[in-house]
């Protein structure tokens, strides 16, 4: 009988945001999207870069912000800008993604 106290219960309660992961871990996919947006400072462009719909990118950024409890970008008329939190996340996200690749490579090397 429903023994899932870990995963949040409320789920789809507020607005639309589909928040991708929720409190368990920083999903690499979100990080990849975040970096694309950080680079282009433009959601539309980032969406093309990662082959996702604009709305998906918008959602992923919001999920990441919700997950971390902090705004990563400031939405201004002239474009998006990284906040202090976004600036702090960027280099670590890059490391994380790099390590992800290293893990794959290491396993391939070890297994043949």
Residues that bind a second copy (CB under 8 A): 6, 24-29, 32, 51, 68-72, 83-85, 87-89, 92-93, 95-96, 99-100, 102-104, 106-112
* Residue 13 contacts which entry, a second copy, DNA, none (Cβ below 5-8 A, type-dependent): none
Which residue, among 66, 65, 83, 87, has the nearest Cα to 74 in the 3D structure? 83
- Closer residue to a second copy in complex, CB, 21/42: 21
Q: 61-84 burial by CB neighbour count: b if 16+ within 10 A, else e?
A: bbbbbbbeeeebbeeeeeebebee
Closest approach, Cβ 24 to DNA, in A, equals 7
Binding residues among 54-73 for DNA as defined by CB under 7 A: 54-56, 58-63
């Amino acid at each position: 009988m429903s023994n899932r106290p870990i995963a949040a219960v409320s789920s789809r309660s507020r607005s639309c945001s589909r928040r991708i992961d929720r409190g368990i871990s920083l999903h690499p996919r979100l990080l990849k999207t975040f970096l694309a947006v950080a680079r282009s400072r433009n959601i539309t462009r980032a969406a093309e870069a990662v082959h996702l719909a604009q709305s998906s990118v918008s959602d992923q950024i919001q999920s990441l912000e919700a997950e971390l409890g902090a705004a990563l970008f400031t939405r201004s008329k002239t474009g998006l800008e990284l906040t202090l939190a976004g600036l702090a996340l960027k280099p670590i996200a890059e490391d994380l993604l790099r390590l992800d690749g290293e893990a794959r490579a290491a396993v391939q090397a070890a297994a043949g």
